[in-house]
Structure 1
Amino acid sequence: MPYEKVSFPAASGHMLEGVLEMPEGPPHGIALFAHCFTCTKQSKAAVAVSRSLAEEGLATLRFDFTGLGESEGEFATAGFASDVEDLAAAASYLFARFGRKLVLVGHSLGGAAVLAAADDIGMDRIAAIATIAAPSDVPHVLERIKGDLGGVRETGQGRVSIGGRPFELSRTFLERVEAADLLAEVGKLRVPLMFLHSPTDEIVGVENASALFNAAKHPKSFVSLSGADHLLLEEEDARFAARLIATWAGRYTVREAVAG
């Protein structure tokens, strides 16, 4: 599939780096993909889902959040609020380029981020939102951080381990994560929603999907990714999720294209 490397500015001015996966023919929809916590645009799920969405006719942008991968900025102070700001910047880039409503797709904490970013992006610019293995409680991600978080809060900065990799975190990062109230944000959404989750997810339990679904207004859908792991390490699981999202979102992107 054809692709382009793209760059666009974050709200604070530093550059964010992404890859735009394009269909073979004219796209029938435009999608924005948000990767999981401390992952990058090159994670297995990000690549597999984005390319599969493109195969289904959706031009799809995957990009690195601030301070991760090839994007500029400081991860130590970024936090969840920064991810939301980055998504709004990415959406502005796509809307300026294509002038069409977007399908937002997020994996794990990226799923929480697309839900929280919807208001900043603007409901009039969103065709639909789909999440994969998203937490309903954003501070949940702090449980995956190994290190002295109390020391980080006390001194303002500290080194921790996330998924076996070292990171430098700040008190600001922790405060931004803890301040998020995702269920309240979901309750305000007035766009079609789809929540995909594996009932055997050992990192973010399926009860998170239940909480998100219950908080959401209709139209909303739930899909069980039976047998899949949290990170979608099996490519077929990622491709299956992408095909479902593309088929479901097609109902809303086609309507939007006709209306436009």
Structure 2
Amino acid sequence: MAQRNFDFTGSNGACLSGRIELPETPPRGWAIFAHCFTCGKDSLAATRVSRALALVGIGVLRFDFAGLGASEGEPGEFGFANDIADLANAAQAMESAGMPVTLLVGHSLGGAAVLLSARAISTVRAIATIAAPADVSHILKSIDPALVSRIEKDGSAEVSLPGRQFVLGRKFLNDARAQALEERVAGLRLPLLVLHAPGDTIVGIENASRIFQAAKHPKSFISLDQADHLLRERVDADYAAMVISAWASRYLPVTEVEMRPLEPSEGVIAQETGRGKFQVAITAGSHQFLADEPLAIGGLASGPTPYELVAAGLAACTVMTMRLYADRVAMPLEKARVGVRHDRDKDRTPPDRFTREITLSGALEEEQREKLLSIADRCPVDLTLVRGSDVVTELFEASALAPGKGDQMAPD
């Protein structure tokens, strides 16, 4: 899946480290994912939700808040109000780069942050929260009161929060106590999806009820069943990602993108040759060739495997689409070469992956190369694979073969 680094300046001047999951289909919107308080942009929930949204055409920026991960700043240096302002800065940077943010997704305290920042981002059309508190100061209940007193007196202290040790500052305490989250939710009037696990021991399910009751319609609630607060189980992160991607697509319009038109096809025919266990003869229009399986699994290795044929279709379509675009805008593309390989991992979502390696020859500027790579992601075969297809199967009766044409099938 295509990514790009996206760093921007936060509200206090710190350089914040971000990464964008680029859409796998023509973009229908852009989103920001706000991670949980003790997490980061590369947490399981942030990564899997962002990639699931990219698969349905929603590009996602996930970034480390100030003082965390690869972002500048010391832990505890900035307050929660800075995190809220940083989301608005992130949206402004995205819009300046031609990617206006239409969806906000937040996990835990990141959920509270997106609810509080939404009014400052005029392009937002929908919001989703995962395990969000209804009161920002809820986090203080997880801290020893003696440590809270020490923070108020000394300015900061190291505290133990779910997931990690963390330096918390006085400014954060003051910001947390000052937020009127439910009042802000009541005034949003944007589509809201609330996801929460009934057994969440960090942020109880009553928080989801309060957020949901405060919100105006359209609003939806989804139970995350046995999930823990941090979505540490892959199946729970995958489920949340699937639900959010399906829900968000209702509120974000499909963007029409100029594509190479699909040509009508007469279809192909594959029939057994009687040689070996798997060998088949394929007829595609006036072209004939063999397909087979490797020797290692009982084939004759006399032709490409079925998945190699699919990979070949993706590679060929990618080259053709880039060529058409390059010629149309007079890019100095001399030659394009595309390699594609397929692999499957049952623990991955989706399990099948086609990895594409593109080589471009010619006096191309870096911006032109980047544009051709984005065009490659929009070739018709790529979109067909990513979106999925409907396969209709009908049973036909065999009839006499026309010479040189392969099997001609007649319906029952």
Give the structure-2-normalised TM-score: 0.59
How do 1:25-104 residues align onto structure 2 when only pairs under 5 Å count? 25-104=25-104
Return 5+ residue gaps in structure 2 as ranges.
Answer: 257-412
Q: Which amino acid aligns with 1:198?
A: A
Q: Which amino acid aligns with 2:134?
A: S
Match of 1:116 in 2: 116
Match of 1:233 in 2: 232
Q: CA deviation at 1:239?
A: 1.8
Q: Which amino acid aligns with 2:209?
A: S
- Please say if residues 87 and 117 of structure 1, whose CA atoms lie closer than 8 Å, have aligned partners that are also in contact: yes
| Gap change, CA 1:227 and 1:175, over 3 Å in 2 | same
| Gap change, CA 1:30 and 1:169, over 3 Å in 2 | same
Supply the distance in 1 between the matched residues of 2:167 and 2:239 (Cα, whole angstroms).
35
Alignment match of 1:135 (pick from 119, 133, 136): 133
Match of 1:175 in 2: 174
How do 1:140-151 residues align onto structure 2 when only pairs under 5 Å count? 140-146=138-144, 148-151=147-150
Further displaced range: 152-161 or 200-209: 152-161
Match of 2:186 in 1: 187
Return 5+ residue gaps in structure 1 as ranges.
Answer: none
Q: Secondary structure at the residue paired with 1:104?
A: strand
1:199-244 Cα offsets, whole Å, 9 max, x none, are: 1211111111110010011111111111211111112221221221
Match of 1:3 in 2: 3
Q: Secondary structure at the residue paired with 2:195?
A: strand
Supply the distance in 2 between the matched residues of 1:61 and 1:55 (Cα, whole angstroms).
14
Q: Secondary structure at the residue paired with 1:214?
A: helix
Q: Which amino acid aligns with 1:11?
A: S
Match of 2:332 in 1: none
- Please say if residues 29 and 250 of structure 1, whose CA atoms lie closer than 8 Å, have aligned partners that are also in contact: no
1:89-133 Cα offsets, whole Å, 9 max, x none, are: 1111222223544110001110010000012223xx101000011
- Please say if residues 79 and 176 of structure 1, whose CA atoms lie closer than 8 Å, have aligned partners that are also in contact: yes
Report the identity percentage: 51
Supply the distance in 2 between the matched residues of 1:199 and 1:151 (Cα, whole angstroms).
33
1:12 aligns with 2:12: yes
1:8-35 Cα offsets, whole Å, 9 max, x none, are: 0112221100110113332222111000
Q: CA deviation at 1:3?
A: 0.6
Q: Which amino acid aligns with 1:250?
A: S
Further displaced range: 162-171 or 200-209: 162-171
Match of 2:213 in 1: 214
Q: Which amino acid aligns with 2:64?
A: D
Q: CA deviation at 1:38?
A: 1.9
Looking at CA atoms only, which structure, 1 or 2, has the larger radius of gyration?
2
Structure with greater helix percent: 1
Q: Which amino acid aligns with 1:131?
A: T
Supply the distance in 2 between the matched residues of 1:171 and 1:13 (Cα, whole angstroms).
20
Q: How many residues align?
A: 255
Supply the distance in 1 between the matched residues of 2:41 and 2:20 (Cα, whole angstroms).
10
Match of 2:277 in 1: none
| Gap change, CA 1:169 and 1:190, over 3 Å in 2 | same
| Gap change, CA 1:248 and 1:173, over 3 Å in 2 | same
Q: Which amino acid aligns with 2:23?
A: P
| Gap change, CA 1:127 and 1:164, over 3 Å in 2 | closer
Further displaced range: 139-148 or 210-219: 139-148
Q: CA deviation at 1:164?
A: 6.3
Q: CA deviation at 1:168?
A: 2.8
Match of 2:154 in 1: 155
Give the structure-1-normalised TM-score: 0.92
Supply the distance in 2 between the matched residues of 1:213 and 1:227 (Cα, whole angstroms).
20
Q: Secondary structure at the residue paired with 1:254?
A: coil
Q: CA deviation at 1:75?
A: 2.8
| Gap change, CA 1:238 and 1:165, over 3 Å in 2 | closer
